[in-house]
Structure 1
């Protein structure tokens, strides 16, 4: 052994020295850069080798180092940016902070009373960014939702400049109350009409669709919630942004009407056989006629459209600002109509200290609207356009003296209506609004993660309506000129106080809790006055004292209050199990004394399956999240004081004295309460190939009970109906959204966004009846026409079911009529199906002949980019809906003494029997009521928007960006509908007269060119 020592000792030394060198270690800790919490499971690898380790639950790691040099460590973790750090000479690295990847999943989304990462959302929420808003020149903020969000149907009910849209999120819940969503602008709920909101100021729009997302708004969340966030100041050097665009609008489609020769021949046919009147025109006169006056062309024009925006943005860590000025000007394609809007917005964010900050958002806006849309009978339909469709094309716009043709001729062969061009040019109907929307909030951090927010807001809206009908136009002839002035003041104030606790408790648990209380009060007052019989038209409505006949003025005032308590808990476990629980209690002055308070709970769960270890083998998957939720929300959109016993003003004449008194108006209902919508939702979010393909799909079921329903009462009560909580409606549907990045290279980019939605609506219960005929066209608009109700509410059928007679061709011979046992009809008259076989067409033969609600809706957007060019193409579609074309009802038969569609040239005669157009003078269609031959397919595919933009090279150091663009809107519409546009509802947001077209303002095709510059 001793002989071996000289050999073993040097060998042992040689072996142990390298071993000791290998014991050199590096230690450290890895944190989340956002909240500085430890990150467990982070991969730590020596660069260029396979030697590595992972961080422990406290984010710490220890790793052996090679004998020589200071290697570089590579840190990587799912969802975070990779990071490299060089080991120091002392064998250590500084604390490593990893930043989350700026992927779509980590985008911050605005939700009720807070924000969340998209990856953490448990409900159904869709988001539209400022970039998407900027892609299309729009007049109203809500128009951007059209065709871009699954589950949201947006209908342009009135294409008139300044006209409204109707929005349905996941179907129609209510029958007699509102179905529009709640709009929240910068935290202010109940923002109402969005005409005064400048779209260029919008940073993002979030649409809350399911109950787990909307329950935080309780009694106003049943129809969905739309959150609009305007642009805030950004830290950095101040920027100046300028945008301007201008363009032209032209009518998209016109009715083909009879020309002068055709209408003269038609009038002769209508008058044929008259024993009292000669024919209105001789054949020689007819032969001498040409095309005559195209009255649509006479009142329609190419119309200008322009928009100008100037914005200032910037600030420091302590103070940030965003200031913008905007002016929007849109002429209407009907003469003397248009809409203008001017806005000023100022948003300020001020950080007083590390704990205290203030937020201030404000907008002041003014709008001015000129309308040409009051009909000759003084109602709310038609006007210049209605008369243009009816007026005799033989008559000129002006007579031989250059004056407007006063009225229709020749009487009594034609209807006595006024010259539509004179109407458009001389009749005044102007609306001016002034609106201020202000919100200020103070935020104070009481403890780390615990923040108190106190906010107050004011929304003030003043509307003035100014109308005048001069005595020298047909409309004012009977009154000697008439003027009216209306003023409406609406304002509300809001106070909200919230406590938010947002804390990552440890690497595995995170908690976000919001509790708060809110109070909002609404006020309004109205005043209206009207005067007739003016001895001069010079001042119009500017001096009502010039009118000799003063009408009874009227005025009113109202107020209502909403008080609320609410809370929400979001809990994250292991970053993959996500829980949300929400509760809100609302007390409203609108409801009965026995039911002032309503309670609206919800719960949701989401499972981020992608974060499970066993999913790492599925490398093609980038994200996979399952969602499920259930909740209850409410609807309080009824008029004020409906639960109370109210009185209306009543008056009567006693000789020459007018006596005024009060009459009971309704039956009180102290038990009146909210409609209640219980909704469940199941959804999945999945992405592939590093989020190049992402899919969101949702299935939902909603049942609305305790409908605020007007129920008929016995005549012995002295009232026609009472507002009760009765009946129920269901909606169920499916939504699908697909986003793909098809190409993403420096040379070429192509992205696609597709959404698809279907909803099935059904009336479940109508309380005391199983069906109820409804429809606004039974109003005074068609008095004496026998039109009747247009729709029916029937248990088992959807809201918007058209109700009428089934067209069955034309009667051809007297023998055919006699064999059928019919009376009161002639050959050439329309024939309708005798459903009950009693040989008579009565109300008992009416059936459901179509449905307003579509089978499905969809939208597709493709964005292409190459070099400095970008092309955006947006297609919108609606499939399976019907539209009731009441224009055709009038223009193919209806009033026999007005102009008609050119199709009537092919009307039935004994020599022309192969047609479905009734004989000249037939009044059967008009006297019967709603019929299926004027119910048309309203499906359409529309090339809604095409925008081509080019980013100009930077030719100056002060220039940050510059681009030019051209946009075409409503470029192509593929549809079988024969009217102006299949996207229509002449009765606005009326739930019971959906898709009804009677003289709606024509839709337009527009072309604009614009410039954007940033300094």
Structure 2
């Protein structure tokens, strides 16, 4: 009995040992899966670090430095997904049978750039944000399009740290980067469009054509662009088409209304206090030199009233009554009623883009029409932009052409008068009345019965009487060639021609005070009292023409070496 029991246990042990030896042999005989290699489709170079993924069952692997990976899978049909930053993701159905399935996959470069990495442009090269040195601000297309406006500068406001808008400065000094770096020189930052300097006004750039903006703000900008970057650099990249993309058409139209200026928003000295200060200055003799000046310089209505009382032409009671009337008047009310209005900004744009395997394009056109805040004044702008790219010789040669045309015009029909705080534009019945012009009121009244032209300045009679027009034509053409000499080494040549023509035309009739003042000022009187007019008693025409152009040529060599987690970049040229 014991012997039989021992024999049974021995048999069981022998069976277990036999199964243990057979199981590994069976496993090796049934091992299956995918053994793949990931390469760059254009160059055939391995892609280390690419992710190979099968969703069901969820299993993944990362390629080694030779671009190889291995996935152990039972026989069946799977969807394999291979992805890497800067390349298009591949999805491919594979059938796994017994054994390892050899597979070679080619990744195509993602032409729209590194979507997973924020890439900025220095004007010479595009680099990931984390590799950029110095201080900069980067605006992608979402930030650029965040605000509706016809001006690129408006799109930069509130989203660009270090960019200062000089609201109270000169009209030719709208912005500065990190403060002012010069006292008497050019204060504007350098503008770079599509890697080449742009010397025209930034207002000519249609924001709907902008893909991204990089603002370089410190010494790193000077290390790239030299002394001309002393005020900072604004690098603008315009939109381009995409390879292997169907034709896309985009239409955009918007209307923006800006409420009328509130002239009472800014706190000012009370009119009564202002008049009291003028009274104190008059009593101290401050205005005596101006009153007796042979050039008949103008003085305010308050000073004229005080002078009339001092000379006995009116009584003290009449003077006080006038001063009290002035104290109850505020010129801002009538300026708001007759001159200011809401602004309307209308923007229309159309864009057509697309591309094939070797060609891509982007065509756009825009029409902006703005009603300004002063009655009768408006401006408009027409923009046309065309960019085309070719990729030839198996991707070794890239050709880029572009042309941008901007036609702008601005009409001024009304100019805003400069009034004393208490001056009125109308009388009690709403009729236009004269205000202080370029000469004092005493002398102007003495000429009323002479043969001179009317020397009074009546602002309301001049609304919509001006005929001032500024027209600008700005265009630039670009040509770029890029050739891959060897792996990682690229030669580039870029050329840009820019031309800007501006015409200013101002036809002023006798309805305008400035014209009558000039004619009267040069009128001569002979010994017999006869008048002669060296300046004809007619309209005057002021016309100015300007033409500017530039040529920019740049040749460079760029080298890029990437090994696993390391990257070497070198750039040189002329």
CA contact 1:147–1:153 (8 Å) conserved in 2: no
Q: The residue matched to 2:560 in structure 1 has which SS?
A: strand
Determine whether 1:141 maps to 2:152: yes
Deviation at 1:136, TM superposition (A): 2.0
Q: Which residue of 2 aligns with 1:311?
A: 351
- Aligned: 1:230 with 2:238: yes
Q: Does 1:221 align with 2:229?
A: yes
Distance 1:25 1:361, change over 3 A: same
- 1:66-81 to structure 2, matched below 5 A, reads 69=75
Higher relative contact order (CA 8 A, sep 6+): 1
CA shift in 2, pair 1:303/1:10, >3 Å:
closer
**Unaligned ranges ≥5, structure 2:** 1-6, 276-299, 446-454, 520-538
Q: Which residue of 2 aligns with 1:386?
A: 418
Q: Distance in 1 between matches of 2:55 and 2:26?
A: 17
> What secondary structure does 1:251 align onto?
coil
- Call closer, same or farther: CA 1:174–1:286 in 2, change over 3 Å: closer
Pair 1:240-2:276 in alignment = no
Larger radius of gyration: 2
1:385 partner SS: coil
CA distance in 2, matches of 1:205, 1:190: 14
- Does the 8 A contact of 2:38 with 2:68 survive in 1? no
- Tell me the alpha carbon deviations over residues 81-132 of structure 1, each in whole angstroms, 9 at most, x when there is no partner: 8999775433235346789999875133222222123343334332212232
In structure 1, distance between residues paired with 2:353 and 2:496: 23
**Residue 509 in structure 1 maps to residue 566 in structure 2:** yes
Query: Is the Cα–Cα contact under 8 Å of residues 47 and 63 in structure 2 kept in the other structure?
Result: no
**CA–CA distance in structure 2, aligned partners of residues 366 and 97 of structure 1:** 47
Q: How far apart are 1:198 and its partner, in Å? A: 1.3
Three-state SS of the structure 2 residue aligned to 1:386 is coil
Residue 10 of structure 1 deviates from its aligned partner by: 5.6
Q: 1:479 to 1:396 in 2, by over 3 A?
A: farther
TM-score between both structures, scaled by the size of structure 2:
0.72
- Among 378, 402, 407, the alignment partner of 1:366 is 407
Residue 117 of structure 1 aligns with which residue?
128
Q: Which runs of 5+ in 1 are unaligned?
A: 374-382, 518-1015
1:134 and 1:350 map into 2 onto residues whose CA distance is: 28
Normalising by structure 1, what TM-score?
A: 0.43
SS in structure 2 at match of 1:320: strand
- Alignment partners' CA distance in 1, 2:250 and 2:305: 65
> Secondary structure of 1:195's match?
helix
Distance 1:469 1:324 in 2: 38
Cα distance in structure 2, aligned partners of 1:281 and 1:258: 22
Indicate conservation of the 8 Å contact 2:435/2:458, yes or no: yes
Query: In the alignment, what sits opposite 2:528?
Result: none
Equivalent residues of 2:241, 2:362 under 8 A apart: yes
Deviations 1:231-290 (A, max 9, x none): 112342222222222243333320489999x99996797458513431595788899999
Q: 1:347 to 1:466 in 2, by over 3 A?
A: same
Name the CA shift for 1:259/1:425 in 2 (closer, same or farther; >3 Å). farther
| 2:398 paired residue number | 357
How far apart are the structure 1 equivalents of 2:249 and 2:25? 64
Give runs of aligned pairs for residues 831-842 of structure 1, distance below 5 A. Answer: none
Describe the shift of the 1:442–1:77 C-alpha distance in structure 2 as closer, same or farther (beyond 3 A): closer
Tell me if the contact between 1:503 and 1:511 (Cα under 8 Å) persists in the aligned partners.
yes
Shift, 1:491, TM fit: 0.7
Q: In structure 2, do the counterparts of structure 1 residues 164 and 369 end up closer, same or farther at CA, with 3 Å as the change threshold?
A: farther
Distance 1:16 1:414, change over 3 A: farther
Deviations 1:408-431 (A, max 9, x none): 499339998722333442233321
The match for 1:299 is: 339
SS of corresponding position for 1:427: coil
Q: Among 181, 185, 189, which residue is 1:173 paired with?
A: 181
CA RMSD of aligned residues (A): 4.5
Give how far 1:329 is off.
1.3
| 1:613-762 pair list within 5 angstroms | none
Q: 2:557 aligns with which of 461, 476, 499?
A: 499
Q: CA 1:489 to 1:268, structure 2 compared with 1: closer, same or farther past 3 Å?
A: closer
Alignment CA distance shift 1:387-1:423 (3 Å): farther
Query: Could you tell me which residue of structure 2 aligns to residue 183 of structure 1?
Result: 191
Which of 487, 490, 493 lines up with 2:545 in the alignment? 487
Contact 2:216/2:233 (8 A) holds in 1: yes
Question: Match for residue 412 of structure 1?
Answer: 442
Deviation string 1:164-186 (CA, Å, 9 cap, x unpaired) is 56222222222221232110112
**2:259 equivalent in structure 1:** 250
Give secondary structure in 2 for the equivalent of 1:347.
strand
Are the equivalent residues in 1 in contact too, given 2:496–2:551 (CA < 8 A)? yes
CA drift of 1:18 comes to: 0.5
Q: Aligned partners of 1:77 and 1:495: how far apart in 2?
A: 38
Q: CA 1:347/1:76 → structure 2, altered by over 3 Å: closer, same or farther?
A: closer
Instruction: Report which of the two has the higher share of strand.
Output: 1
Does residue 20 (structure 1) correspond to residue 60 (structure 2)? The answer is: no
Cα separation, 2, equivalents of 1:231 and 1:291: 55
Change (3 A) 1:365 1:158: farther
8 A Cα contact 2:36 2:70, kept in partner: no
CA contact (8 A) 2:301 2:436 kept: no
Tell me if 1:278 matches 2:314: yes
Q: Name the stretch that deviates more: 81-90 or 168-177.
A: 81-90
- Of residues 387-396 and 203-212 in structure 1, the stretch that sits farther from structure 2 once superposed is 387-396
